[in-house]
Amino acid sequence: MTITNDKPKSNALPMAIVAVLFFILGFATWLNGSLMPYLKQILQLSPFQASLILFSFYIAVTFTALPSATIIRKIGYKNGMALGMATMMIAGLLFIPAAQTQIFALFLFAQLVMGSGITLLQTAVNPYVVRLGPEESAAARISIMGILNKGAGVIAPVVFTALILSGFQEHSAEVLTQTRIDEMASSLVMPYLGMAIFIGLLGFAVKKSSLPELPSEDDSEEANSKGHIKEALSHPSLALGVLTIFFYVAVEVIAGDTIGTFALSLGVENYSVMTSYTMICMVVGYILGIFFIPRFISQQKALTVSAILGLLLSLGVVFGDNNSYAIANAVLVPFGGGQLPDTLLLIAFLGLANAIVWPAVFPLALSGMGKLTSVGSALLVMGISGGAFGPLFWGLASGSSFGQQGGYIVMLPCYAFILFYALKGHKMKSWK
């Protein structure tokens, strides 16, 4: 159902508000790529412990996705957005005592609260993209919001480095004294306080804004019943699609949020901005997808290419030479860029492989679902919990004989499953 109005420009302000919210969502999400190696350094964490920073953030999706939908049905979409941002504000404030005490458990709790707030905000804001305008142009709006989200992922590490890490880069490869650790931890306080205040004010502005309320869906309670969930999962194309989203988000978060930690282990000074490299590649991938799909290549073929590219790049990361700078010398140094190891840039290039997966899997998984489309969509969104487990397995592998570089081998089965879905899984109509 689309919100209509006699004035054709009536949706401009609501769409502008939604665009800002998508940027905030991307900024808060991809900030983890800089936060993870920073906390690993000042709290002297193992790779597995560092992966818990991402686990506590993304596991919130698993536990709060369906409750968020229930909350929004009761209080409305606009109030749901405001409540989501209020939760994010509280999470930002929780980082202050966490930084002052340097208690790892407090950081994990703050991450859990932040993930819960973002899940609520996402659940409230996503329907606006589709329903604030004609259905035939919804795909274009979704792509624009996706670019804003990933674009925020480019900016977030740069802002983190400028506000928090400035003056500390030269200590990336050395053992820190307690005095230096205290200084680095204290540098988190003011930026997170500022972010909390900004998000709180934005939430208040959204609540008081003229953002139109979306009509509620009367059948949503029924659609989320156990019977409908079981019926939806009886469709192999959807059930396998949920697993595909799970594995996709796992590799997306590994590529975007562990690259800084790996860079830190290699002694790269500007490790906190490495997430920006992956996000730039994702934005490029989004733009290529908008241009080529379906004009020159089908969704299924694009997904196949993405999976094969992901497999090749993963092999390059695992077996690559950390002392080789051939890629940087070819594509970065001539334009004034830094000299980075090939393995780091191959991780960043995974952004290209990952960009097309989400837009391709969703329509393939929901094809022919009919009345089960809404519950199918909710199940696919829950696949985001893969972002909690992907880095966790990378952390476990990194702490073994594989080392941090060898730990990226966990991406191979993920891309293999995505390739299976692209070639066969999405076509399956029966489990027999």
Average pLDDT over residues 319-345: 90
In sequence order, what are the residues at sequence separation of 6 or more whose Cβ sits closer than 8 angstroms to the Cβ of residue 304? Answer: 419, 422, 423
Kindly state whether residues 250 and 206 are assigned to the same domain.
no
Average pLDDT, the chain: 84
Asked if residue 137 and residue 55 are part of one domain, the reply reads: yes
Verify that 20 and 168 share a domain, yes or no: yes
The mean per-residue pLDDT over the stretch 102-117 comes to 94
- Whether 310 has a pLDDT exceeding 90, the answer reads yes
Q: Give the pLDDT band (50/70/90) at residue 214.
A: low
Q: State mean pLDDT over 252-258.
A: 91
Residue 76 near residue 213, CB atoms below 8 Å:
yes
- pLDDT band per the 50, 70, 90 thresholds, residue 10: low
255 occurs within a structural domain: yes
Residues 208 and 283 in one domain: no
Residues 148 and 269 in one domain: no
Instruction: Name the pLDDT band for 223 (thresholds 50, 70, 90).
Output: very low
pLDDT class for 92, splitting at 50, 70, 90? very high
Among residues 122, 128, 142, 111, which one has the least CA distance to residue 65? 122
The arithmetic mean of pLDDT across residues 267-276, rounded, is: 85
Residue among 69, 4, 17, 73 at smallest CA distance from 211: 17
- Tell me what pLDDT residue 41 has: 87
CATH number at residue 116: 1.20.1250.20
Question: Of 212, 244, 260, at which residue does a domain stop?
Answer: 212
Cβ 421 vs Cβ 282: under 8 Å:
no
pLDDT bucket at 8, cuts 50 / 70 / 90: very low
196 and 225 housed in the same domain: no
Helix (H, G, I), strand (E, B), or coil: what is residue 167?
A: coil
**Of the candidates 280, 278, 306, which has an alpha carbon nearest to the alpha carbon of residue 292?**
306
Tell whether 269 is covered by a domain. yes
What whole-number distance in Å separates Cα of residue 244 and Cα of residue 233? 14
- Tell me, yes or no, whether 207 and 261 share the same domain: no
pLDDT computed for residue 225 by the predictor: 57
Say whether pLDDT at 137 is over 90: no
262 is written with which tokens? 């790996």
Residue 3 has pLDDT above 60, yes or no: no
The DSSP letter of residue 52 is H
Q: Is 179 exposed, middle or buried (0-12, 13-18, 19+ CB in 10 A)?
A: exposed
Nearest Cα residue to 158 out of 284, 22, 33: 33
Question: At which residue do the structure tokens 């080789």 appear?
Answer: 324
Helix or strand holding residue 251 (H, E): helix 236-257
- Same domain (yes/no): 235, 366: yes
How many angstroms separate the Cα of 284 from the Cα of each of 152, 291, 297, 350, 355? Answer: 14, 11, 17, 11, 8
Most confident of 18-22, 159-163, 304-308: 304-308
**Structural contact between residues 159 and 167, judged by C-beta atoms closer than 8 angstroms:** no
8 Å CB contact between 391 and 202: no
Which pTM value belongs to this model?
Answer: 0.81
CA-closest candidate to residue 421, choices 290, 248, 274: 248
- Read off the pLDDT of residues 162-212 as tens digits, 9 standing for 90 and up: 888 765 555 455 567 888 888 888 888 998 999 999 999 999 998 888 777
Rounded to 5 degrees, φ, ψ at 154 are -75, -40
Q: How many domains does the chain have?
A: 2
Look at residue 413 and tell me if it is in a domain. yes
The answer as to whether 432 is a domain residue is no
Residues 148 and 251 in one domain: no
**Pick the residue with more confidence: 412 or 183?**
412
Burial per residue of 23-52, b for 16 or more beta-carbon CB atoms within 10 angstroms, e otherwise: bbbbbbbbbbbbbbbbbbbbbebebbbbbb
- 360 lies in the same domain as 251: yes
- Structural domain ending residue among the three candidates 177, 212, 247: 212
Do the domain assignments include residue 176?
yes
**Domain end among 183, 212, 241:** 212
In a domain, 280, yes or no: yes
* Stretch 29-49: mean pLDDT: 88
Domain of 67, in residue numbers: 9-212
Q: What is the largest CA-CA distance in the chain?
A: 65
Residue 181, number of CB atoms within 10 A of its CB = 16
Based on the fold, state whether residues 285 and 343 are members of the same structural domain: yes
Residue 359 lies in a domain: yes
Q: Is residue 3 a part of any domain in this protein?
A: no
Between 260 and 229, name the one with better pLDDT.
260
Question: What's the pLDDT score for residue 166?
Answer: 66
Rounded to whole angstroms, how far apart are CA atoms 170 and 158? Answer: 17
Whether 7 has a pLDDT exceeding 50, the answer reads: no
The reply to whether 199 and 229 lie within a common domain is no
What pLDDT, in 10s, does the model give residues 126-135? 777 767 766 5
Cα 28 to Cα 51: distance, rounded to the nearest angstrom? 17
